[in-house]
Amino acid sequence: MRPEIKRAQHTIPTGASSPLRACRNVESAPLVVAEAHGQYLHDIDGTRYVDFMYGFGPLILGHAPQPVSDAIARQAANGTLFGTYCVQEVELAERIAETADHLEQLRFVCSGTEAVMSTLRLARAHTGRTGVLRFNGGYHGHFDLVQNKDEARMRDAGLDPAAMRSNVYAEYNDTGSVERAFAEHPGRIAAVVVEPIACNMSLVLPQDGFLADLRRICDREGTLLIFDEVITGFRLTYGPASELLGVAPDLTAFGKIIGGGTPVGAFGGRRDIMRLLDEEQVLQGGTLAGNPLTMAAGLATLDVLAEPGFYEELERKGALLEAAVERHRAEKGLDFHFVRTGSIFAFIFVPRSATVRRKADVAAQPVSPYTTLYAGIREAGYHLAPDIEEPMYISAATTDETLEDFAARAVELLAADPNTPVVPPA
């Protein structure tokens, strides 16, 4: 064990302030990074890694992009926290709100967890109900109302039983399970909260009609529809992914990208719901919410994202990677899912004849192919997410050469693992 890790474990539980960083789920030693630039991480020994995790998604421009670094430096020289109104906060709120019609008002917080938590409190206040319907395998933060103690990988110690009783569960991409949940809990469900594209069970895409069904059911039942876009917001298009998917929620939670690599969250939606904050019926606040440093970083990031062709170029890179993986997979006779939407991608190690549409489908995969991939690709100078159910990301800094090389190396490593599915004999 590295002395830095041993030192960290003495003071910090698991040695990390967020558990996946301990790399226990990939049976590897934690990576200790000293600096990062563009597509590269550099550890404290000077070893360089091409990054595909990008801080679990926020760093769509790559590490330390010059416009964002410059904006942070300028703002730091003029103050990092005012505790009052600041113009940057208003400007960033306006820019986000103008991306979707349902975003009539917006408020900032400091994390995606806080953003989702605030939308649920608003939904309960608006409807006068307490139940929250969520989907098995979804992740919306670590507070009680969105913890699923029935999942083997979750822990139920310390959770409030009363809060847990407010949870109602359904299956992602299964309209029938949603209908049954409403029938079993009539007049009780305040909100349906969902990642419109499920990025916390590897990467599972919504089937045609599923999100529209949620909108229809919520309208019928007087329930609010909340999209958790902490990951997908500004990742796939300039604004929420709901604009691409053609379904408007009542409230949206943002995070990650809108802070330009600094701590951030935001939530917004219809004015008649958000007004409950105006009327002080719902209490929500935070000392660091909307701080000028984060707002400056967010504005600088959105400046770049708004440039013509930005998302088209990310899509081109994503398609290049997908084609390369599929080419090498076919050459090796392997039979796994490579799932991609825009600049998000994941490997799911079940045969392509098997449908991947919900948590149980993802949970059926063997773990060892990913453990083999993570260790081997890290040895080759690449860094992936340290968990089989976390997706990976492409940034504006990722090069075509990197994508081609990674695809070849990744498939070669997977071919060496006996648990990687293979194409059955004809």
- What is the set of active-site residues? 139, 228, 256
Among candidates 317, 254, 295, which has minimal Cα distance to 58?
Answer: 254
Residue identified by tokens 């709901």 is 242
Whether the CA torsion 335, 337, 342, 345 is positive or negative: it is negative
Beta-bridge partners for 105: 269
Whether the CA torsion 366, 369, 372, 373 is positive or negative: it is negative
Question: Within 85-150, where are the H helices?
Answer: 87-97, 112-127
Residue identified by tokens 């949206």 is 252
Q: By the 8 A CB rule, do 99 and 311 touch?
A: no
Q: Which amino acid makes up residue 279?
A: E
Q: By the 8 A CB rule, do 69 and 401 touch?
A: no
Name the DSSP class of 205.
P
For Cα atoms 121, 122, 126, give the angle at the middle one, nearest 5 degrees.
120
Q: By the 8 A CB rule, do 206 and 196 touch?
A: yes
**Per-position b or e across 163-192, b if 16+ CB within 10 A of its CB:** eeebbbbbbbbbbebbeebbeeeeebbbbb
DSSP string, 218-244: HHHHT-EEEEE-TTTTTTSSSS-THHH
Residue identified by tokens 């079993």 is 184
Q: Which amino acid makes up residue 45?
A: D
The residues, ordered by sequence, that sit 6+ positions from 62 with a Cβ below 8 Å of its Cβ are 37, 38, 39, 54, 395, 396, 397, 398
